[in-house]
Amino acid sequence: MFKSPFITKNGLLYFSQIPNQQNKYSSLGTINHICFLFLCLAPLLFFGQEEEYVEWESNSKLTWRDFKGKPTNTRAAAITASGISYRFSTLSNGNDIKLDFKVSTYFYPNQSWYQPSLCDEVILGHEQLHFDISELFARKMRKQLQNTRFTKNVKAEVKAIYRKINKDLSDFQNRYDDETNFSRNLEQQLEWNEEIAKVLGRN
């Protein structure tokens, strides 16, 4: 019987970008989500330095005070950086591989920012839902890791699950922005808020 040390995997940041609504007609066709632009060294590291983070909690929501970065794009009203990270260890007995894992959802305040003159509580709610959607897919990953029978190629198998989850997360985040028109379609925004809250048990 052999127990491997914990393996901390790199987390991928997901950047949600809200177009500057003052320029919505000229920029709408070119402003899109920026997905997975930066590779973290670990949940607590960013470019070699310790990175502040907020872990997703069911009884806590973001406020504008959590957005501590400096605006870097005048065509955007707000940017949210969030992502899924995981670590795991294995316990093996012959061909029987058991996985002990932790999957976490993080928001990165110093990589997230907003322009106060362009933002309101509707946009804040829109950004919160991007964070919530990341948690939704973290739960999908937890369930898949729990239900998968792993082999001695466990590292590659976990990595493949992680990549597929992130691909599905990206597609879902883009669909969310498309259907809500970056929060401009208030009716759709409220429907998404209700549906995701229901799935996450926040109602």
Domain edges within the chain: 2-200
Judged against a pLDDT cut of 70, whether residue 32 lies above it is answered with no
> Can you tell me which residue has the tokens 């809250």?
197
Q: Quickly list DSSP for 32-47.
A: --EEEEEE-SBTTEET
Q: In angstroms, rounded to a whole number, what is the distance separating the alpha carbons of residues 29 and 17?
A: 13
pLDDT value of position 95: 83
91 C-beta neighbours (distance < 10 Å), count? 13
- C-alpha 29: how far from chain center: 24
Per DSSP, 152 falls in state T
Judged against a pLDDT cut of 60, whether residue 42 lies above it is answered with no
Judged against a pLDDT cut of 80, whether residue 21 lies above it is answered with no
Q: What are phi and psi of 84, to 5 degrees?
A: -110, 135
pLDDT band for 160, please (50, 70, 90 cuts).
very high
Q: How far apart are the first and last CA of the chain?
A: 44
The mean predicted confidence, pLDDT, of the chain is 81
Q: Which residues contact 142 (CB under 8 A, 6 or more apart)?
A: 101, 103
Q: In angstroms, rounded to a whole number, what is the distance separating the alpha carbons of residues 191 and 188?
A: 5
Is 191:56 a contact under the CB 8 Å cutoff? no
Judged against a pLDDT cut of 70, whether residue 38 lies above it is answered with no
Give the relative orientation of helices 186-200 and 154-180 as an angle to the nearest 10 degrees: 150
Closest CA to 135 of 46, 18, 43, 57: 57
pLDDT tens digits along 60-109: 999 999 999 999 887 889 999 999 999 999 998 888 899 999 999 999 99
